[in-house]
């Protein structure tokens, strides 16, 4: 397919790569600086054109190609398609659709080049403008993360394999934007341990002050555990 023919209709895949910064306690999303027009030099979600100049066998393979490209270069622990938006106005070139994903990674990755992690809520709340309608996409990605975090273990996939109860409490509190009760979190980890999703290791972490923390290990890295009940809204 030549560029001329393709210019009639573009279908892209965009990735919302979310991490939890344990130092700042912020939930962050990866954005990259666009190298080409339109919106050259502006920040945007990483994305590629599906089956454009480079052929793809499927949308999933296009997503994989994006994640392995220099635009991203990270290995997510979890991926989930959120939605497809398509209309005649979102891209100045032509009618276009975007199939976009929620992807979770831990905060041990070091990124290089013209990309950075920024606060998720800032982007979702339009405080940080992105190219195209990407602020809208980020809002939908944030909403999906939030609603699923009420009744599943999803946020734990932003933590490294080994994590403490405090890590879990902090990431849930940040994602849900409200305090999470310690005993509730411990009960949930207990249920997950019974079902083989996590295991309590014998190792301990010694903080600067206070009693050592138990270390949990995530076992089923790509599956999420569904709880019977929601955290309160």
Which residue ranges make up the site for its own copies (CB under 8 A)? 1, 5-6, 8-9, 11, 50-51, 55-59, 81, 83-89, 95, 97, 99, 151, 226, 228-230, 232
Tell me which residue of 195, 145, 210, 208 sits closest to 171, measured CA to CA.
Answer: 145
In the complex with DNA, the residue whose CB is nearer, 22 or 115, is 22
Query: What residues have CB less than 8 Å from 117, skipping those under 6 apart?
Result: 19, 21, 28, 29, 30, 31, 111
Pairing between β-strand 95-104 and β-strand 9-21 as defined by DSSP bridges? parallel
* Partners of 83 in beta bridges: 100
Region of residue 70 (phi > 0: left; psi between -120 and 50: alpha; otherwise: beta): alpha
Interface region with DNA, contact rule CB under 7 A, candidates 48-56, 67-75, 108-116, 205-213: 205-213
In the complex with its own copies, the residue whose CB is nearer, 152 or 165, is 152
- Answer yes or no whether residue 191 interacts with DNA by CB under 7 A: yes
Coil, helix or strand for 72? Answer: coil
- Answer yes or no whether residue 229 interacts with DNA by CB under 7 A: yes
The option from its own copies, DNA, none interacting with 214 (CB < 5 to 8 A, set by class) reads DNA
Q: Which of 187, 195, 201, 222 binds DNA (CB under 7 A)?
A: 187
The option from its own copies, DNA, none interacting with 165 (CB < 5 to 8 A, set by class) reads DNA
DSSP, res 146: H
Angle at 175 between CA 75 and CA 46, to 5 degrees: 40
Pairing between β-strand 198-205 and β-strand 162-164 as defined by DSSP bridges? unpaired
Helix (H) or strand (E) holding 210, with range, is: none
The option from its own copies, DNA, none interacting with 211 (CB < 5 to 8 A, set by class) reads DNA
Determine the Cα–Cα distance for residues 230 and 233; give it in Å rounded to an integer: 8
State the nearest-atom distance from the C-beta of 216 to DNA, in Å: 9
State the nearest-atom distance from the C-beta of 126 to its own copies, in Å: 21
The option from its own copies, DNA, none interacting with 49 (CB < 5 to 8 A, set by class) reads none
State the nearest-atom distance from the C-beta of 189 to DNA, in Å: 9
Contact residues for DNA (CB under 7 A)? 164-166, 179-184, 186-188, 191, 204, 206-214, 227-229, 231-232
């Amino acid at each position: 397919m030549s560029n001329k023919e393709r210019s009639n209709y573009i279908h892209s895949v965009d990735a919302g790569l979310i991490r939890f910064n344990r130092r700042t306690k912020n939930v962050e999303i990866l954005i990259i600086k666009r190298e080409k027009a339109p919106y050259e030099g502006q920040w945007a979600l990483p994305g590629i054109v599906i089956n454009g100049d480079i052929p793809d066998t499927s949308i999933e393979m296009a997503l994989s190609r994006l994640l392995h490209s220099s635009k991203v270069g990270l290995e997510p622990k979890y991926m989930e398609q959120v939605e497809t938006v398509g209309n005649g106005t979102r891209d100045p070139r032509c009618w276009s659709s975007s199939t976009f994903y929620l992807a979770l990674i831990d905060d041990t990755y070091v990124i290089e080049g013209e990309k950075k992690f920024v606060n998720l809520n800032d982007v979702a709340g339009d405080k940080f403008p992105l190219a195209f309608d990407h602020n809208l996409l980020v809002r939908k990605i944030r909403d999906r993360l939030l609603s699923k975090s009420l009744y599943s273990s999803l946020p734990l996939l932003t933590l490294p394999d080994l994590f403490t109860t405090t890590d879990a409490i902090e990431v849930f509190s940040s994602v849900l934007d409200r305090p999470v009760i310690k005993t509730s979190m411990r009960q949930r980890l207990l249920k997950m341990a019974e079902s083989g999703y996590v295991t309590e290791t014998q190792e301990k972490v010694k903080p600067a002050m206070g009693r050592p923390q138990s270390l949990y290990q995530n076992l089923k890295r790509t599956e999420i555990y569904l709880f019977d009940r929601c955290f309160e809204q």
